[in-house]
Structure 1
């Protein structure tokens, strides 16, 4: 079946119905109600949840206060009002902190976004995957896995988080119960017994979610989490302050200059009794402009040397999840180590894992019952592993960005083709565009960028060819 737009309205096909795709649809509807036929191609049952907000685990919480999780930049308190109207604290008293901040479950946020989409007249949800995108007579034909085709004037790619890549040292365990390769898969932890010893590969937000889930399920076995530096995500401050400092007057020309300015600003903030949070909040707000001001080689240095430290300070833990980690660390049930994997041997009743500690210490063996990957989405391999992006690369419609973070786009979020030309009606929303914009993982940043994408879609004239 081929799905065409109406004769009076332009069609926008949004590929991916997570938070990025949902916010493009919401922004289009706010900016130009009824002006577009919007088709969202998303295999999940609901639009607006994506990977993160599909979780039904009450231990998985949004990791910024609800007051910063709006979908409309012009109405920052909308989500808080939604929570209050539904009396979320009554059913989830742990969502409310003593200081009044709200950190509800991620499932609640998914319900919030999904509910707003249901009110958009004319929005169509195609519960399938897009398999190819091709230009035909000035329009885009999006073929789907269900055999149908969506014909659109504008296509927005809002593909986000792919599953983790299995490290080379663990490929022998691929497909076996000994390795939980995708911790977000339904039933991923069902086979784990309460007393099993687990190795968690990764020490960031995903690791924290895993530990929170295991505790909720009554797990009491030893947990060891490793990463190359052994860093874990930082908590929020208990004394929030306005963003502090300035990193654009003038913008730094090198990654080292940026680091020195951050350190100097931190020293000033400390002298004024402020925590590092206010300084890093300002870096986040100015992050896109900082990123775009740096030469390509300096961006690479930033990614190589500073990104791990940025990630642990930028992507903070919900206080409730931080409390779980602190409790498990204090009890000795969890250890976090700076180490890398050297190998693994299946001994039948357990696994012998060889760990290489950081800074040249001798390798050591760790006996565990199961290994869980918490390395995060494999964005760097998207053009290899995603069938749609692989086709678009082969056809010259798209190409990876030079940093390996996602897709090459220009400053207006237009996809850059094989010839280096920006395509005015092929737009990219969300983390897939972060090679150009730098900071595009948090919801507040995604909301701002998707609004700009919607504005671009509005101002592109629809093709008159192929109308039926």
Structure 2
């Protein structure tokens, strides 16, 4: 099925009707807006997206200008429409798409495009809706949301207020939290707390000795940027386990493993079932990728079956293992990291960070290597955090969310992954009930939904929310005659 946008013309500007405000216009918010336009069709209603950036759909992830910051998923699995998995792949061959740099495609023909290109794809599909008035882009951040009876007053940084019948919270990822072991570097210019902030990596001199805290995909992106800048002072990458994001696997048959029939009720049972499935697949000549692909596809049902205490146990003991197998590294990025390691330009450490102190020779970082009772030291000039977003701090760090919390309309989810929601995506207020008209999009709902960090999952959730939002609107009166 070829999925296209609804036809839009200047005449399609929506007449007076319900207003749906989307707070945040990165991928999560843009996907909700795009699907809302599909579901609303010719019904009256106005979709208003608050996003400070010039284009919708880029957000934090897809605004990076570095061509070495690539999608970690091939082109045929990236799409705005779940029913049309080749939507992005076709766009890449259209006249609207930019020319990709040599090396973007693997020998198997899969394209791992720069993340900025995917952002351009999303923005291109929102642009005609904006031009036609189906979607209104208010290029401003929201500073406060107030409940006013059955509606919401959404105030932006200019002081302007939009009255909305429904609000979708699709705010950006918060920056990483500063580990207590690095508290001595707070406000020190040698510390980069948010490596996604524009221009911060460009300030790192090539001769500086760099320590990256965290060894996942963010660390790999940082390393690629530093290498592109000619970094020669050496890079140390530190994480407790020393684990790294795993590469993609070969094309192979699907696993026969099934995790939704009689689903596991404990993290330990789930782990045992995964190990059994991996052994069975290995006997068939399959790599581990097949089982983890099945786990990802069945993730919502697996997560829903686990009680809260078992979800906590999973996050505490198994999350790191899940992440390195689930969030795989693009082949081109993997090649850059591997070559840098072979050349001695980067060294990985499995160790616990103990503390840091400034000395005349630089930043003396104390670590305890994994499996050792002895301390070791690294002397560096720069420390960069790559520990991932601090989702547990998202409400306190966002004025709009904080204003909702003041009114008792939102609360953190019990796993500190984002905002508490119902399984349908409605925000749960502090009284424990769903708040009418208030929804949560994207990764902030993953405490309830489960896996919501990848584009396929975020897209499916956006489609679900769009249908839910429209179903909640007053139905148009039937025409008699």
TM-score, length basis structure 2 = 0.92
Work out which of the residue numbers 293, 302, 305 in structure 2 matches 1:281.
Answer: 293
Post-superposition offset of 1:389: 1.7
Return the match for 2:226 from 214, 219, 224.
214
Pairing partner for 2:207 from 173, 195, 208 = 195
Is the aligned partner of 1:389 residue 2:401? yes
Q: Is the 8 A contact 2:72 2:112 kept in 1?
A: yes
Of residues 466, 469, 472, the one that matches 1:454 is 466
| Range that drifts further, 348-357 or 209-218 | 348-357
| Aligned residue number for residue 327 of structure 1 | 339
Please list the CA deviations of residues 406-432 of structure 1 after superposition, one character each: whole Å capped at 9, or x if unmatched: 111111101111111112311111000
Aligned mates of 1:232, 1:153 — CA distance in 2: 45
Question: Which residue matches 1:431?
Answer: 443
**In the alignment, what sits opposite 1:131?**
143
User: What's the counterpart of residue 54 of structure 1?
Assistant: 63
- More displaced stretch, 87-96 vs 273-282: 87-96
Structure 1, gaps ≥5 residues long = none
Residue 383 of structure 1 deviates from its aligned partner by: 2.1
1-structure distance, mates of 2:475, 2:115: 39
Match of 2:271 among 231, 240, 259: 259
Count of residue correspondences: 460
> Alpha carbons of 1:224 and 1:241: their partners in 2 closer, same or farther (altered >3 Å)?
farther
What TM-score results when the alignment is normalised by the length of structure 1? 0.95
The alignment's C-alpha RMSD in Å is 1.7
CA 1:12–1:103 in 2, change beyond 3 Å: closer, same or farther? same
Map of 2:75 onto structure 1: 66
**Deviation, structure 1 residue 117:** 0.4
Give CA deviations for 1:183-202 in whole Å, capped at 9, x if unaligned.
11111122222122110000
Aligned mates of 1:369, 1:439 — CA distance in 2: 37
Q: Which residue of the partner structure matches residue 409 of structure 1? A: 421
Q: Give unmatched runs, 5+ long, in structure 2.
A: 1-12, 477-481
The 8 Å contact of residues 396 and 418 in structure 1, kept in 2 or not, is answered as yes
Per-residue displacement from partner, 1:300-341 (whole Å, max 9, x unpaired)? 111111111000100000110011111111122111111122
Q: Is the 8 A contact 1:64 1:103 kept in 2?
A: yes
- Give the equivalent residue in structure 1 for 2:50: 41
Structure 2 contact 173–394 (Cα < 8 Å) conserved: no
Q: Say whether 1:11 aligns with 2:19.
A: yes
Question: Alpha-carbon deviation of 1:9?
Answer: 2.3
Contact 1:89-1:96 within 8 A present in 2 as well: no
1:112 matched to 2:121? The reply is: yes
Mark the CA change 1:45 to 1:214 in structure 2 (over 3 Å): closer, same or farther. same
Does residue 445 in structure 1 map to residue 457 in structure 2? yes
Give, in whole Å, the separation in 2 of the partners of 1:317 and 1:86: 28
Conserved in 1, the CA contact under 8 Å of 2:47 and 2:136?
Answer: yes
Q: What's 2:5 paired with?
A: none
